[in-house]
Amino acid sequence: MSSNPEQLPAIAAGSGVPRHVAVVMDGNGRWAQARFLPRPAGHRAGVDAVRRIVEACGRRGVKVLTLFAFSSENWTRPEEEVSVLMDLMLRTLEKEASRLHENNVRVRMIGDRSRFSHRLQRQIAAAEELTADNTGLTLVIAVSYGGRWDLAQAARRIAEAVQDGSLDPEQVNESLVEGMLNTADLPPTDLLIRTGGESRISNFLLWQLAYAELYFTPVLWPDFREAHLDEAFDWYAGRERRFGRTSEQLGRVSRA
């Protein structure tokens, strides 16, 4: 980062709505269990929460919303649950793509899509293509995604570039690595929200969360409403984002 304090990223308390919000949507299974319903019912209710929060983020002027829908580790769940989740993803994309497009939302998927069915891969590509030129909210859906996987695939591509002679190891720096991640052209994550009561990252955006504000709430994802989002945003607006500096330095910058 530049040593010029004028070039610090968005800083100081009250800086308003986060530009890039990431969400670990956790608690679907417990929501269903509490109602004596099978786990898939929780996942279906989770889709309704996604719809609400996408719309709410759009209205509040969030630029990027990244939703953790299925982790690299979630492949280890019972086969039946994995297949329900994949099916739900396919149906939701089929159903919602045109509405998202009408609302000027740009859809993107990050993760290892080689593990998906051809049909799901085609549906993802179609939704991305349809919405590619939209200028509203960018909705990033992380499916079959893991932060370690993302870093490993970046390392592999860098190694390949060195091997074929197009890159000198001397050129490997933070911005080069960042440019190789699945999130390359997105702004840094400002706020991470995790529902469901756990205080962990679960292999989500490891690199990208380096300076995010972390907000954990016990609310289960299917119960997450616009008012909960506002609570998280209010909390975020009260953070002083120092990026390694002192409060006094920030005071000087915001007065400048």
Binding site for Mg ion (CB under 5 A): 26
Residue from the set 21, 68, 229, 241 that interacts with ligand IPE by CB under 6 A: 68
Q: Which of 26, 28, 182, 190 is catalytic?
A: 26
Residue 26 appears among annotated catalytic residues = yes
Quick one: which of 59, 57, 30, 42 has its CA closest to 193? 57
Residues 22-41 that bind ligand IPE (CB under 6 A): 24-30
- Residue 239 CB, nearest approach to ligand IPE (Å): 23
Residue 103 appears among annotated catalytic residues = no
From the list ligand IPE, Mg ion, none, partner contacted by residue 85 (C-beta under 5 to 8 A by kind): ligand IPE
- Residue 29 CB, nearest approach to Mg ion (Å): 6
β-strand partners of 191: 21, 213
Residues 173-212 that bind ligand IPE (CB under 6 A): 196, 198, 200, 202
Q: Which of 4, 28, 74, 104 is catalytic?
A: 74
- Residue 220 CB, nearest approach to ligand IPE (Å): 7
Catalytic residue list: 26, 74
